[in-house]
Amino acid sequence: MPKDTKRLKIPLKFAKKLYFLQFFHYNADIPEEWRIFLMRKMLKRINLFLFFVLVVLVVVSPLSDILFPALTRLIHPAESSLGWNLILVNGEHYIPRDYQVNLTELANGQKVDSRIYPELQAMFDEARRQGLGLYVASGYRTTEKQRELLEEKIAEYKGQGHSSKEAKTLAERWVAVPGTSEHELGISVDINADTDVCTREALYSWLGENAHHYGFIHRYPADKTEITGVINEPWHYRYVGKEAAQEMYDLGVCLEEYIESLK
């Protein structure tokens, strides 16, 4: 029995009953201050125990990323209330488990959400008409594929002499954590230049000036890294729809800023 109860001069026979049982029930024979005091003591110990359990599971356990993703790195499920084309997925918003996508396969075997295919094809047709060579290097990815890419990147950094923790941190700067990659939505593509036809600089310059006409945005520009949490990726384009893309282009904002302005 805690010694602190002596300060309230609680009889031992009452204190024992109160501590383990009586504070759960109202009893007119038990002074209210005793009840409140012992209830606080019990709740404090329960809270400390739960906190300790969470620390062990989330920080210590190597399985924490699998067992408790929402506690370790993911904060909110992505919302699609603004429309499927404006769903925000990043390090703080993960793809809902019930998210579904219908895919269209491209000529090179890559796949994209069928809803973006017409505009994607139109953009590519116009780029080629203007003498550029381009192709989708990466379209839709499964969560398993995203995990595989991250693990490969981690292994690469480990091979360079980094610790497991350092390798994971470095890898996540380049490869999104599974469940937080726009590629898993099917509405983002990595576009590479066919260097036998044109330079990378020429292609990315053209995309930067024209992609919004087809509903696509340069998702991770260099001057928005602090907001997006992702380094500059001149090859990564995301479909948001023509209206939103035009507004974002005119305002010079990234998707996070645009979504925030609509709230």
Question: What would the pLDDT profile of 189-217 be if each residue is shown by its tens digit?
Answer: 999 999 999 999 999 999 999 999 999 99
Q: List, edge to edge, every strand of the sheet that includes 216-218.
A: 134-138, 188-193, 236-239, 216-218
- Whole-prediction pTM: 0.71
Which residue in the list 148, 156, 233, 247 is annotated as catalytic?
A: 233
Encoded tokens for 223: 């001057």
Q: pLDDT tens digit string along 164-194?
A: 999 999 998 889 999 999 999 999 999 999 9
Q: Does residue 232 surpass a pLDDT of 50? A: yes
- The gap from C-alpha 154 to its chain's centroid, in whole angstroms, comes to 18
Q: Does residue 157 surpass a pLDDT of 90? A: yes
pLDDT category, 55, cuts 50, 70, 90? Answer: low
Please indicate whether residue 59 or residue 239 has the higher confidence score (pLDDT).
Answer: 239
- Please report the pLDDT score of residue 214 as a whole number: 98
- Residue 233 annotated as catalytic: yes
At residue 101's C-alpha, the angle toward residues 185 and 173, to 5°, is 15
Encoded tokens for 5: 């109860």
Comparing 27-36, 214-223, 230-239, the range with the smallest average pLDDT is 27-36
pLDDT category, 30, cuts 50, 70, 90? Answer: low
pLDDT category, 33, cuts 50, 70, 90? Answer: low
Share of the chain above pLDDT 90, in %: 64
- Please report the pLDDT score of residue 79 as a whole number: 86
Comparing 25-39, 74-88, 100-114, 138-152, the range with the smallest average pLDDT is 25-39
- Please report the pLDDT score of residue 1 as a whole number: 44
Average pLDDT along the chain? 84
pLDDT category, 263, cuts 50, 70, 90? Answer: confident
Which is nearest to 218 in space by CA: 230, 202, 235?
Answer: 235
The CA distance from 115 to 74, in Å, is 27
